[in-house]
Amino acid sequence: MKQTKGKMGIREFAAILFLLIGTKITDDTPTYLYSGAKNAAWISMLLISMALIIPTILLLKVLSVHKGKNLHEINLYLFGKVIGNMVSFTLLILGLLTIVMDSSVYVDIIGTMYFTKTPTIAIFAVLMCVSAYGAKKGVEHIGSVAWLVFFYTKVTLIVALFFTFKEGNSKLLFPILGPGVGGIVKTAAQKLSIFGDFFYAGLIAPFVATFKDFRRGMFLTYLILTVELTVALMLFVMLFDFTSVEILNYPFHETIRYIQIGFLTNVETLFFPFWLVATFIRFSFYIYLFVLLLGGIFKIREFEYLIPLVTVIFILLGIAPETPLITISENRDMTLQVLSPLLFVLPCVMWIIAKIRGDFKNESSV
């Protein structure tokens, strides 16, 4: 099966990004923010968004003068063959860690909150196989499916958040600065990588119909996701208060189990399927990005044939740890912290090199 070489429009691209980062609010990502910034986690989120705006603009600048090239190809061009490959390889390893750990977290959510008796390996296998199938279909298909389910997932999320708002109390957000400015800034700096997916999105830049669409898609999702994540972080505190929200593993799932819609109780069954679909799309895209980068580094043109193999590796790595909950949360925290400075610095370095090499001059002359 040859990969389709069609292009994505802004809708599909934006939908992928929305689902990719939007679902983070539903896993254990909020816990990492709450543990550092307590009830002021939402301020940390705003700071993250503000801090990353510069690298994102710089990245877009660099990408704009290398239209048709993906992130890896630009890395090779800017840093030379050896260092470029090393940079990409680092990104690949971090991507691998992210996929393995995120998938463990999602399997844990499904296993502990919904299907308690199902063996972990079964959930893992199903999640990964479905995602691999999605990835095999190519990024255009992932985009179409993402756009297809985009409204359903967002509407259910908004409904859930609205009812959370009704149950919550805004006074629980105070004292407004939480652990103090130091704590907020520190948490923000350590957890910058929440928006790391924007950087990885550079890998699919050539697949988006026009560069203008790519840039607009980035900015649009950037803005809306900032609002979405910030509001969600505020709402969880408004519902649970800062001491409780910190010890909850998955605040979103606790929320949908708690809220009632009118006379309807047990509404989590309403939200769960949509969340599940979003999860499948997210991992499909992750696997796709991974093999894309892998294929780029090792010069494998038919990289989609790698998908079944990598999927098996992911499953094996995912089920390897004995008590996943403990190992994963430690390592995940560490990965987030390692990834954070890298994602901030790398676009800046890329821009500086591009500047020195005079790439931008060509642009202005054209």
Partner 1 sequence: MNPLFKLFLLVPILFLLAGCWDHKEIERKSYVIGIGLDKGKEQGTLEITYLIGNPEVGSQQSGGSSMEEPSELITINVTDYISARNIANSVIAREISYDLLRVILVSEELASDKDFLRFIYGTVKDREIKRSTQLVVTKEKVGDYLKKNKPKMETRPHKYYEYMIDRGIETGMIPDSELHIFFRVTEEDAKVFLSAYTSSETTEEEKQGPTQDEFYAGQLEVKGETNRTEFFGSAVFLEGRMIGKLNGEENRLVMLLNEFSEISDIITTFQDPFHEQYQLSARIIAHKEKTVKMELNKKHPKIRVTLPLKVEILSDPSMTNYVEKKKETAQLEDYIESSMEKKIADLVERTQKEFKAEPFGWSLYARKEFKTLKEYMTFDWMKTYPEIDIGVKVDVELGEFGRQPKIPGFKGVRD
State how far the Cα of 77 lies from the Cα of 83, in Å rounded to an integer.
10
Q: Total residues at the site for partner 1 (CB under 8 A)?
A: 41
Q: Quick one: which of 238, 332, 249 has its CA closest to 42?
A: 238
User: Could you give the residue ranges of the DSSP H alpha helices within 137-267?
Assistant: 139-167, 181-190, 196-200, 211-240, 242-247, 251-258
Cβ nearer to partner 1, comparing 210 with 269: 269
Cβ nearer to partner 1, comparing 266 with 323: 266
For residue 218, count other CB atoms closer than 10 A to its CB: 24
User: Could you give the residue ranges of the DSSP H alpha helices within 110-138?
Assistant: 120-136
Q: How far is the CB of 309 from partner 1 (least distance, A)?
A: 14
Task: Give the one residue of 86, 113, 149, 312 binding partner 1; rule: CB under 8 A.
Answer: 113
For residue 85, count other CB atoms closer than 10 A to its CB: 18
Q: Contact between 180 and partner 1 (CB under 8 A)?
A: yes
Stretch that binds partner 1, among 144-152, 201-209, 211-219, 260-268 (CB under 8 A): 260-268
Q: Quick one: which of 207, 171, 226, 225 has its CA closest to 288?
A: 207
Tell me, residue by residue from 237 to 256, as one string, x for binding to partner 1 by CB under 8 A and - for no binding.
Answer: ---xxxxx--x------x--
Helix 41-65 and helix 324-357, axial crossing angle in degrees, nearest 10: 40
Q: Contact between 258 and partner 1 (CB under 8 A)?
A: yes
H or E segment and range at residue 205: none
Unique residue bearing structure tokens 């988006």: 208
Task: Give the one residue of 83, 265, 341, 361 binding partner 1; rule: CB under 8 A.
Answer: 265
Q: How far is the CB of 265 from partner 1 (least distance, A)?
A: 7
Cβ nearer to partner 1, comparing 53 with 130: 130
Cβ nearer to partner 1, comparing 227 with 247: 247
Tell me, residue by residue from 266 to 305, as one string, x for binding to partner 1 by CB under 8 A and - for no binding.
Answer: x---------------------------------------
Stretch that binds partner 1, among 17-25, 54-62, 164-172, 357-365 (CB under 8 A): 164-172
Cβ nearer to partner 1, comparing 237 with 328: 237
CA angle 279, 238, 269 (to 5 degrees): 35
Tell me, residue by residue from 18 to 47, as one string, x for binding to partner 1 by CB under 8 A and - for no binding.
Answer: --------------------xx--------
Q: How far is the CB of 280 from partner 1 (least distance, A)?
A: 9
Cβ nearer to partner 1, comparing 228 with 254: 254
Given a contact cutoff of 8 angstroms between Cβ atoms, the answer to whether 13 and 143 are in contact is yes
Q: Contact between 3 and partner 1 (CB under 8 A)?
A: no
| CA dihedral sign of residues 103, 108, 333, 25 | positive
Phi, psi of 8 (to 5 degrees): -100, 150
Length of the chain: 366
State how far the Cα of 207 lies from the Cα of 351, in Å rounded to an integer.
22
Stretch that binds partner 1, among 70-78, 158-166, 188-196, 234-242 (CB under 8 A): 234-242
Q: How far is the CB of 295 from partner 1 (least distance, A)?
A: 19
Given a contact cutoff of 8 angstroms between Cβ atoms, the answer to whether 208 and 13 are in contact is yes
Residues contacting 143, CB < 8 A, separation 6+ = 8, 9, 12, 13, 15, 16
Task: Give the one residue of 51, 53, 57, 125 binding partner 1; rule: CB under 8 A.
Answer: 125
Sites of contact with partner 1 (CB under 8 A): 1, 38-39, 112-119, 122-123, 125-126, 129-130, 133, 136, 169, 171-172, 174-180, 240-244, 247, 254, 257-258, 260, 265-266
